[in-house]
Amino acid sequence: MNLNFRSIPDLVRAITRNLHKVPEEVDLIVGVPRSGLMAASILALELNLPFTHIDGFVAGEVFQCGRTRSARYPVRCVSDSKHALLLDDSILSGGSLAQAKEQLLQSRAKGKLTTAVVFAAPSAKHMVDFFFEICPVPRIFSWNYMHSPVLENCCVDIDGVLCRDPSPEENDDGPCYVEFLRSTEPLRLPTYEVGWLVTARLEKYRSETEAWLKRRNVRYRNLVMLDNYTAEERRRSGIHSKFKASVYSSVDAHLFIESDSAQADQIARLSGKQVLCVETQQLADPNPVSIPYARSTLWRAVRKANRILRRVRETTFKSITEKH
């Protein structure tokens, strides 16, 4: 099963490429908390409009455009707005947007209200007045994948994803490394239970790893660690990607979340399944098209098109000469 992934740059592109869809008379952008606020802020900046959130709208308050620019419309408070746009980042079931819309309709504001989302599932596009882009399901977004039920069917790396990587000084396979395992700072802590935590940490450090995960309230069904290797053998063999790919291939996981881009590419290629790299915020393709292959394919297509065009010209010229 392939997941459709959208990053924050994808969100920005979807908005900026479809600004023409926003009705010209819209004078206020209202974001649906929380990720809808990000989309609302981007759109408001692009259109030079004030924006607010649900509670702000109900309270009659808006965020102004700032000192460096004057507003496109003179909206100082919600009561000044004649046409507000309620915006969320995405829609699937439509429940959140419907609830937000009801809150606005019950407020004292009297202006027109239009609803929109950046990414709409095909089955939900009729639930809004307009959308910026279709994003099929299943899907995940870079701003919420660590807080999504999709984690229950994911393999997740630890170092570089849940916590930072150890420094060379800390990675001594001794007391400094043990201290790192006990006290390292968290990066991204998942909200939902993780199906498989897959790490190239050695099995002998399981107790320290489990203790750190427990202190950070990280829930998981399986913790898979590298066994039958020493730290030196692990570094010399570069087994990290092969080990993670073998685990990923053997379980019913839909996605592997990896920190390192090179390892993400290798895991995807070896497992034949998608890998999300947190370093690049991109999905690693299990079957990438090489640049030489892409170039040769393009060149063959160009030559074929030229041959067809040449035949058309010759036929046209022959037809003209025969008439004369």
pLDDT at residue number 237: 86
CATH 3.30.750.24 matches 145-284:
no
Q: How far apart are CA 56 and CA 116, in angstroms?
A: 18
Over range 144-164, report the average pLDDT.
96
- The region of weakest confidence among 184-193, 227-236, 284-293 is 284-293
pLDDT digits (tens, 9 = 90+) for 305-314: 667 667 766 6
pLDDT at residue number 73: 64
The DSSP line for 72-108 is SS--SSGGG-SEEEEEEEEESS-HHHHHHHHHHHTSS
pLDDT digits (tens, 9 = 90+) for 116-127: 999 999 999 999
Which has more confidence, 27 or 299?
27
pLDDT at residue number 291: 41
Rounded to an integer, what is the distance from CA 191 to the centroid of its chain? 16
pLDDT digits (tens, 9 = 90+) for 8-61: 999 999 999 999 999 999 999 999 998 999 999 999 999 999 999 999 999 998
pLDDT at residue number 266: 96
Buried b (16+ CB within 10 A) or exposed e, 286-315: beeeeeeeeeeeeeeeeeeeeeeeeeeeee
pLDDT band at 320 (very low <50, low <70, confident <90, very high): low
pLDDT band at 299 (very low <50, low <70, confident <90, very high): low
For 272: left if phi > 0, alpha if psi spans -120 to 50, otherwise beta; the answer is: left
pLDDT band at 321 (very low <50, low <70, confident <90, very high): low
pLDDT digits (tens, 9 = 90+) for 82-133: 999 999 999 999 999 999 999 999 886 788 999 999 999 999 999 999 999 9
pLDDT at 292 over 70: no
pLDDT at 293 over 90: no
Q: What percent of the chain has pLDDT over 90?
A: 74
pLDDT at 298 over 80: no
Cis peptide bond prior to 108, omega within 30° of 0: no
Q: What percent of the chain has pLDDT over 70?
A: 85
Return the CATH class of domain 4-141. Answer: alpha beta
Cβ(54)–Cβ(104) below 8 Å = yes
pLDDT at 290 over 60: no
pLDDT digits (tens, 9 = 90+) for 210-258: 999 999 999 999 999 999 888 888 888 889 999 999 999 999 999 999 9
Q: How far apart are CA 229 and CA 90, in angstroms?
A: 45
pLDDT at 68 over 70: no
